[in-house]
Structure 1
């Protein structure tokens, strides 16, 4: 996928933030307590995580422009887990306030960066601020789908799906090569192993499967040596710090 500009990325972040907060505005306390497909997580866990990620991306940018370095999450992975568990049980209004504040902070900080500052290093996958902003975009779009509020993977844009295919190529096992055959689009190959498997279906379903989510537009079909096979098992999510 061709790298999108920082201005385009800010547009995508703004749209994703608006979509999430628009849905969040409709939730009751009971809605927030409802379970999601993520094991052990309610909507409250998802919302606490989103606020945590947005705050983490913001503080990475804030610190690096001052020439300082700090952990992605306050307290590391243990701090991340603790913060989510402590906030998950909050009511809808508390979640709205936390998510709104974290997103406003992140968008304000990122929107004020110079082009040079977008390339400053941060403590996220040995990357730079741009990578942190991409991660926030990814988190907002995917976790809005996890909330099951009518914005599932079938609503993901072609641009976002192609970005996910590129990012999630790291989930393909070393011995496997996937030939992705999205309907009405050019084939793509991810992985370079000897075991070749073809996956056909809607691009949104392919991206959802690679992201560990349930495809929503139809059945994906997998073939190896002209025979139908099960979808291959994938490696863990390719991130040291964030889902």
Structure 2
């Protein structure tokens, strides 16, 4: 498990939920910096992410495979349909699913935490990765809500872990050399990167 992940989940979830509570109903229809997504899409995504990670927690608890999503189409359809829910419903479901995920994770035994599960990207990881997957989602999307939270508001150790994770993922996508050149001051501007993560 990435050190601090369980604490980060709790803190970042609260940060995200507080942000959702600060949105006016009209704000849910406003765009975010994520292409094609309104704030309603963002809140729906965080809700369905909790449900998907609950499936991984069930996998860890029982040993029976429970994939996060049946397909990428399922994930996309959930977000699209969720974005059309009324703001009051979105506020309710995103809070409820976060609480259920926290309960599921708290119930995992030492043996369960060591079981391997498969992420939506197809990576085989121990269940100890689940808190990191959630912390990353809620922290980054708290920033994406556009309610004044920035990466400066996130814990330094979380940001360090996030940088390592993102650079590793970008490198695996073939974007490592350009990032290395820029991050070491050997390029004047950031490289053009693939789709947002």
The TM-score, its normalising length taken from structure 2, stands at 0.88
Greater relative contact order (Cα < 8 A, sep 6+): 2
Match of 1:161 among 148, 151, 159: 159
For the 8 Å contact 1:117–1:129, the answer to whether it is kept is yes
Alignment match, 1:191? none
Alignment match, 2:115? 120
| Displacement after TM superposition at 1:35 (Å) | 0.6
Misfit runs of 4+, over 3 Å: 174-177, 196-199, 234-237
Distance 2:42 2:182 in 1: 33
| Displacement after TM superposition at 1:177 (Å) | 6.4
* Secondary structure, aligned partner of 1:168: helix
Q: Of the two, which has the highest radius of gyration?
A: 1
Structure with the larger helix share = 2
Structure 2 gaps of 5+ residues are: none
Alignment match, 2:128? 130
* Secondary structure, aligned partner of 1:25: helix
* Secondary structure, aligned partner of 1:127: strand
Match of 1:14 among 10, 18, 26: 10
Structure with the larger strand share = 1
Structure 1 gaps of 5+ residues are: 179-195, 200-222, 238-242
The reply to whether residue 105 of structure 1 matches residue 100 of structure 2 is: yes
For the 8 Å contact 2:167–2:176, the answer to whether it is kept is no
Distance 1:40 1:17 in 2: 24
Superposition RMSD on alpha carbons, in Å? 2.0
For the 8 Å contact 1:119–1:128, the answer to whether it is kept is yes
The reply to whether residue 54 of structure 1 matches residue 54 of structure 2 is: no
| Displacement after TM superposition at 1:233 (Å) | 2.7
Match of 1:33 among 11, 29, 42: 29
Alignment match, 1:148? 146
Count how many residue pairs are aligned between Structure 1 and Structure 2.
Answer: 190
The TM-score, its normalising length taken from structure 1, stands at 0.72
Distance 1:234 1:87 in 2: 28
